[in-house]
Amino acid sequence: MIVIGYNGFTRGAEVFRRLWGVEGVDRHNVLGHDAAVAVLVDGELVAAVEEERLNREKKTSAFPMNAMRWCLERAGIAFEDVDAVAFPWQFSADAVRTMISEACDVSQTPEEMFQYIDNLDQAYTELLCRRAIREDFARRTGYDLPDDKLVLVPHHLAHLMCGYYFGGGEDTAFLVSDGRGEQHSSVMGEIRAGRIRLFDEQTINAGHSLGLLFGEITRYLGFVPNNDEYKVMGLSAYGAAPADNRLIGEVVRLREDGTYEMTTLVDDPQGARPHYPVLDRIFDGSEETRQRFTYRATVAAAAQHMIEEVTAHQLRALQARTDLRRLTFEGGLALNCVNNTKLLEGSRFTDVQVSFGASDPGVAIGAAVYAAHTPGRRCAPATPSPYLGPDFDDAQIRAALDDRAGRVWWRELAPGEIADETARLLCGRAVVGWFQGRTEYGPRALGNRSILANPAFADIKDIINARVKHREPFRPFAPVVLEERAQEIFDMGKKRVSPYMTFVFPVRPEFQDRIPGACHVDGTARIQTVNDEQNPELCALLRAFTTRSGVPCLINTSFNVAGEPIVSSPADALDCFLKTEIDHLVLGPFLVGKNQ
């Protein structure tokens, strides 16, 4: 069975801008952001890539035509070969009724309510209904998708199935939490023998979304909502949540049944910002104080504490309803890796699985898995891997180098030289671009499109933030470490591996002075573990580097600058290399430097 899963819509941003004035930073909230395509052949994921890697527009919501074209070519198929096309949104009659009733519950004039309902009608007709999705697909691909081949998948179930697939297809309890799906923001339940059971009583609707509230606090602190929440998480380590965190109680109220509610709806159809005055009141804030680092760190710490307390509250309810010992956590909130570790350690679950596609890039994969899934049959890849996107042969790399011949020099390394020569360069304060194999999927660079550096230098974080990434100085960097050594260096608690940078662990005291560049201000690190089966090239480099330097890990950050997608092609890598102060680039077998 061949299934395509995809996310994205041609005119989504345009329609939301016309109807609700959603533009600028708000465009990241529109339907279908993180557009992507995935192809599943007989249960095996053979190709997947995010559209942003190809069209170079970060978090694009556009129809993923470039990604579609590449995935079909990689899989060696045509549209006529495909059994199903899965789309990770399903605006059912019930979902639409809920949206209309919620609009009528807010404090609006009759004219405002009718205007909203009219806007919703236009959005449904132009974007959300089955006919609109098929027409958009045909308009962009030239293929008239038969109606019986289109599978509309509820958004949160698409999230769930991505995690279930990469978690091995085993029985699992689950929590999915994000900004919003069609009508909900959080669901929980369990999967047994492939059958999904939702605990409806613990479902949270979109108007009381913890993810959207965290997004509003992200905006309040001067960042981009639905994009920069991880900055708030990083910033929180510089502050301390008040002993009596008034966000819990005055903004979020916990209920005894494991659910919660917002005192003011965050999914406001008029785009108002009702929490700004509330936050100012709670934290004694103003336009002036919001610019102060200490103030922002305090608010960030309170917001992080709120996330941890509310999701732990949910987890207690989930534990009371299931005897399963394994948890799958997906959705945008599952990218809060500080929270993930605390959820695991504070629960009776023996493991928590968070995939590399936990946020919206994963729903293209999850939708495909949902469409191909048969209850009772184990659905999982033979070897889970995030390396699903384009790769490039030596001839393609040479062509990109030749195009920039006046600006760079290069020499080809023998296969046995690549790791050792790169390790030699990394023993100093050099910053190295590392481009190998297939492009990673998801928001994290996992060793194929990475910027690497030596964590033994305390100032290396400042060097990379200022000279390379062009981003905020408080931002930490993650270390990549051989799986076989990870527990020696990091206190991993119940975890044994963390291959996708989705958990944070304390750096053991005896290593904090040895890898200061990889330690956050609170002594923790968001690690990536790697083994030879997952990424042999990166493992070879880590061993060569440790042998030369005695340092047991490397800093690994995404190969991009602030505001741009992670590089995908050799041309992308060279252009990023040339406009930053990256010292060296290892591009496949080629060591590249800059001409003076």
Give the pLDDT confidence score for residue 137 in this predicted structure.
Answer: 97
Count Cα neighbours of 13 within 13 Å in the Cβ-side half-sphere. 17
What count of other Cβ atoms lies within 10 Å of the Cβ of residue 384?
Answer: 16
48-71 pLDDT, tens digit each: 999 999 999 999 999 999 999 999
368 contacts 153 by C-beta, under 8 angstroms: no
Average pLDDT, the chain: 93
Domains in the chain, start-ordered, CATH in brackets?
2-91+129-167 (3.30.420.40), 176-353 (3.30.420.40), 394-594 (3.90.870.20)
Q: Does residue 479 carry a pLDDT above 80?
A: yes
Give the pLDDT confidence score for residue 99 in this predicted structure.
Answer: 78
Residues belonging to the chain: 596
Phi, psi of 544 (to 5 degrees): -65, -40
More confident residue, 570 or 380: 570
Catalytic residues: 33
pLDDT band per the 50, 70, 90 thresholds, residue 505 = very high
Reading phi first (left if > 0) and then psi (alpha if -120 to 50, else beta), residue 178 is in beta
The CA distances from residue 318 to 195, 254, 353, 371, 495, in Å, are: 17, 15, 15, 26, 20
What count of other Cβ atoms lies within 10 Å of the Cβ of residue 271?
Answer: 10
Q: What is the largest CA-CA distance in the chain?
A: 73
Give the pLDDT confidence score for residue 269 in this predicted structure.
Answer: 45
221 contacts 283 by C-beta, under 8 angstroms: no
Nearest alpha carbon to residue 219 among 176, 284, 271, 178: 271
Give the pLDDT confidence score for residue 270 in this predicted structure.
Answer: 45
Helix and strand numbers (H, E) in the chain are 21, 23
pTM of the model: 0.95
**510: Cβ–Cβ under 8 A, 6 or more apart, which residues?**
none
β partners of residue 191: 172, 196
Nearest alpha carbon to residue 339 among 252, 453, 186, 234: 234
Look up residue 37 and give its DSSP letter: E
Tokens of 570: 């050799």
209 contacts 267 by C-beta, under 8 angstroms: yes
247-270 pLDDT, tens digit each: 999 999 999 999 999 987 665 544
By CB atoms closer than 10 A (0-12, 13-18, 19+), residue 147 is exposed
Give the pLDDT confidence score for residue 107 in this predicted structure.
Answer: 67
Distance CA 32, CA 175 (A): 21
Give the pLDDT confidence score for residue 266 in this predicted structure.
Answer: 61
What's the rounded mean pLDDT across residues 437-454? Answer: 97
272-311 pLDDT, tens digit each: 566 788 999 999 999 899 999 999 999 999 999 999 999 9
Q: Does residue 379 carry a pLDDT above 50?
A: yes
- Max mean pLDDT among 63-67, 89-93, 96-100, 104-108 falls in 63-67
Q: Does residue 25 carry a pLDDT above 70?
A: no
